[in-house]
Amino acid sequence: MIEGQAWKYGDDVNTDVIFPGKYTYQPLEPAEMAEHAMEDLDASFAREVKEGDVIVGGYNFGCGSSREQAATCLKAAGIAAVIAKSFSRIFFRNAINNGLPVIELEDGVDQIAKGDAISIDFEAGKVTHKGNTYHFPALPKEVLAILNDGGLIPHVRKALGKE
Amino acid sequence: MGMTFAQKVLAAKAGLESVAVGQIVEIEPDYCLSHDNTAAISKTFNKIGVERVKYPERFVIVLDHTVPASIEKYALGHKEIREFVCEQGIANFYDAGVGICHQVLPEKGFALPGKLILGSDSHTTTYGAFGAFSAGVGRSEMAVLYATGKIWLKTPASFKIVVSGQLEQPITSKDLILKIIGDIGADGALYRSIEFTGRAIEEMSLSSRMVLSNMAIECGAKNGYIAPDKKTATFLEGRAVHEYTPVYPDPDARYEKVLEFDATTLDPQVAKPHAVDNVSPIEEVAGTKIDQALIGTCTNGRLEDLRLAAKILSGNKVAHGVRLLILPASQEILLGALREGLIETFVEAGALMLNPGCGPCLGAHQGVLAPGEVCLSTANRNFRGRMGSRDAEIYLASPATVAASAITGVITDPRAEFVGGAK
Ligand code: SF4
C-alpha cells in the first residue's frame, strides 16, 4: 500500500529528460543520480520530491534511450511508483529490475493533477484518487517475482543461492 | 496457424513448437552487445557474486559513446572496461575508433539472419535489417546475461509495414522512416515487432534498410525485421562469425496491423524539436536558420550517406556561421570515404571531420549545443537537452537535406538546387 502525492506529466516523457545523456557515462551513485532526476523536464522535481511520491504520466512513458539511470534516479529520489497510460518496453523492464513498481492505467489518469493525493493497493490492483477507484491488471508472475525480491540483482542472487 | 518472424525466432530459441503473442519465454541470446556502459555493467555483475562471465564468446563490447575520452572519468571507465574484457577473456572487444557499435556488429559479422541479439542500447534494433531478432535491454539485465546467459522476453504482436514504389535520390530511407514515425506516432508500434516489406524495401541497399531498423525503436518497436536476401548474404560473405539460417514469417502469420506507404510520392521529411514524431514535409520548415549541421551516427554515418552528402557538397562551401560536423560510423567507412576522395570534398567544403564514434549524438562528448542554437542532424533523436543545452533545438533529416542546408545555412530542400551534384 502506497500513499503519496502525484507529479503529473504528459505523453512521451523520454529518458533523456528523465536523466540527461551528459551524465550517463559518469560513475554516479543512485543518490547523485537523484539530484539530476527530471532535470531537463521539470527543474523543481529534484528539489521538491518527497519519499513516497508517485509519478503519473501519459502514453509511452520512458521512451528513448535504454539508460537504466532513468529508473534508478526516480527510485533514489523517493518515487514509490510510476503510473502511466503506457510505458516504453525498456523503461518498463528497467523499472521492475530496479524494484520500482510500474502501473499501466488509462482510466482516471487525466483527472489526476500535480500534488493530488493518490493511494495504490498492489495486492488488490487498485488506485484511489479523490474517492474514485481504478483497477489495474496484475503483473505477470515472472515479473512480479523480480519486483517482490526488490529488483533483478537481488532476484538473481536469490535464484543462484547467493543470499 | 502461421507464426510471425518474432514468434518463430522466440519459439525456436525457447525450444518450443510455437509461442503465442504475450507468452513469456526464457531464452539464451546468441550475442549480446554493450558499449561504454560496460564499466557500470561490470560493477553490477560483480554484485551478483558470480566470478566468471558464463559465455564470454557471446559478448561483444565496443567503445564508441565517448571516444576518445574527453574527461578523466571517461578515461577511467574505458580503462576498467579494458581490464574487465581481459580478465574475463572476452575476445570480441573493439576499442575506441573502430566505430559505433551498431555499425561494428554488422561489419564484424555478428548481425546474422535468424539470430537473437540483445544489447544494452536501445538502437540494438538495427540488426533487424539483417533478419535478426534484436532488441535493447537495460544495464542490470546485461549484467545478469554476463552471469547466467539467460533472460525472459515477452512475445510481441507484429505489425507489417508494406512500402511500395521506389526511393529516388535525394529522397532516402531516412525520409521514409521519418514519414512512418510521423504518421503512426512515437508509440505507434509500442511493444510490437515490425516487419518491413514491399518493393521499396527489396530494392534498398542494406545501409538504407539499417536506417529503418535503427529507428524502429523511435515508434516504440521491439524489433524491426527485414527479410534477408541475396544482398544480405553477399554482405555477410567473409564476415559472418557463425553459420546462420534465415528465418522468414509464415505466409499465414497473423498481424495486428498492416500499414501501407508509397516511396515514390515521398517528399524530404524533417522531425522538428523536441520529438521524433513531430514530422513535417520539408517545405514547412525550409528557411529555418541553423548553427550546426551533423552528418553521421548509427542512423546515417555509412558510406552511401557520405557519398550522397559529398555529391551535394562538392564544389560548395559551408555557409558562414554554420559548423558542419561529419563522423563516419566506423573505421571501415572512414577508409572507404578516404579512398573515394569524399573526405577531401568535405574538408574542401569547410566541414569539420570527427573520428568514428557517437560524437555529439547524445551530448556526452563533443559538438554540444549552446542555449538558443539550432542543429540539423542525421541522428535518430531530437529530445530536449539531447545534444547539450536544454534550450537548444534539434531537427532531424536525411544526409542530403543536412548537406544542402549546411551550404545555405538554412533548412533547405535537397531537390531544389543540388540534385545530381551538378554544381
Ligand atoms: S550514434 Fe547516437 S543513437 Fe547511435 S549508438 Fe551512438 S549515441 Fe546511440
Atom nearest to B64 CA in ligand 1: 6
Spell out a b/e string for A36-48, using b for 16 or more CB atoms within 10 Å of the CB, else e.
bbbbbbbeebbee
Whether the CB-CB separation of B395 and B272 falls below 8 Å is answered with yes
**DSSP 8-state code for residue B309:** H
Cβ-based contacts of B140 with chain A (< 8 Å): 68, 94, 97-98, 151-153
Chain centroid to Cα B268, Å, comes to: 19
Cβ-based contacts of A73 with chain B (< 8 Å): none
Of the partner residues A17, A97, A140, the one whose CB lies closest to the CB of residue B138? A97
The interface predicted TM-score of the complex, written ipTM, equals 0.96
The pLDDT tens digits for B16-54 are 999 999 999 999 999 999 999 999 999 999 999 999 999
Would the CB of B362 count as within 6 Å of ligand 1? yes
B420 has pLDDT over 60? no
Which among A132, A130, A19 is positioned nearest to A79, based on CA atoms?
A19
Q: How many CB atoms lie within 10 A of CB B394?
A: 27
Whether the CB-CB separation of B296 and B396 falls below 8 Å is answered with no
Q: Tell me which long-range contacts B109-112 makes (C-beta under 8 A, separation of at least 24).
A: B109/B236, B109/B239, B109/B240, B109/B241, B109/B242, B110/B31, B110/B33, B110/B60, B110/B241, B112/B30, B112/B236, B112/B240, B112/B241, B112/B242, B112/B244
Q: What is the pLDDT of residue B1?
A: 82
In chain A, the N- to C-terminal Cα span, in Å, equals 26
Would the CB of B123 count as within 6 Å of ligand 1? yes
Q: Name which of B42, B134, B366, B383 to mutate to probe chain A: the one with the most chain A Cβ atoms within 10 A of its Cβ.
A: B383
Tell me if chain B has a CB within 8 Å of the CB of A93.
yes
Compute the nearest-CA separation of A149 from chain B (Å). 14
Provide the pLDDT confidence category of residue B421 given band limits of 50, 70 and 90: very low
Please answer yes or no on whether B364 and A22 come within 8 Å at the CB atom: yes
Using CA atoms in the order B374, B378, B384, B387, what is the torsion angle rounded to 10 degrees? Answer: -80
What is the Å distance from ligand 1's center to B123 Cα? 7
d(CA A12, CA B199): 32
Whether the CB-CB separation of A113 and A6 falls below 8 Å is answered with yes
Per-residue confidence in pLDDT tens, chain A, 163 aa: 899 999 999 999 999 999 999 999 988 999 999 999 999 999 999 999 999 999 999 999 999 999 999 999 999 999 999 999 999 999 999 999 999 999 999 999 999 999 999 999 988 999 999 999 999 998 999 999 999 999 999 999 999 998 7
B299 has pLDDT over 50? yes
Residue B154 β-bridge partners: B24
Tell me if chain B has a CB within 8 Å of the CB of A99.
no
The pLDDT tens digits for B181-239 are 999 999 999 999 999 999 999 999 999 999 999 999 999 999 999 999 999 999 999 99
Mean pLDDT value of segment B46-67:
97
* Atom 4 of ligand 1, nearest CA residue: B298
- The residue of chain B nearest to residue A71, with distances taken between CA atoms, is B138
Which among A12, A78, A107 is positioned nearest to B383, based on CA atoms?
A12
Q: How many CB atoms lie within 10 A of CB A10?
A: 10
